[in-house]
Amino acid sequence: MAEQIVNGISAELLADVSWRKSRYSGAVGNCVEVAPLESGEIAVRNSRFPSGPALVYTRAEIAAFVAGAKDGEFDDLVH
User: pLDDT value at position 63?
Assistant: 97
What are the pLDDT digits (tens) for 43-52?
Answer: 999 988 888 9
Asked if 53 contacts 32 with a C-beta cutoff of 8 angstroms, the reply is no
Which strands form 32-36's sheet, in the order they lie side by side? 9-10, 53-57, 42-46, 32-36, 20-21
Query: What pTM was computed for the model?
Result: 0.84
Average pLDDT of the segment spanning 18-27: 85
C-alpha–C-alpha distance, residues 54 and 67, integer Å? 21
Nearest to 52 by CA among 14, 4, 10: 10
pLDDT surpasses 90 at 7: no
Segments making up each domain of the chain, as ranges: 9-77
Q: How far apart are CA 1 and CA 15, in angstroms?
A: 16
Model confidence at 1: pLDDT above 50? no
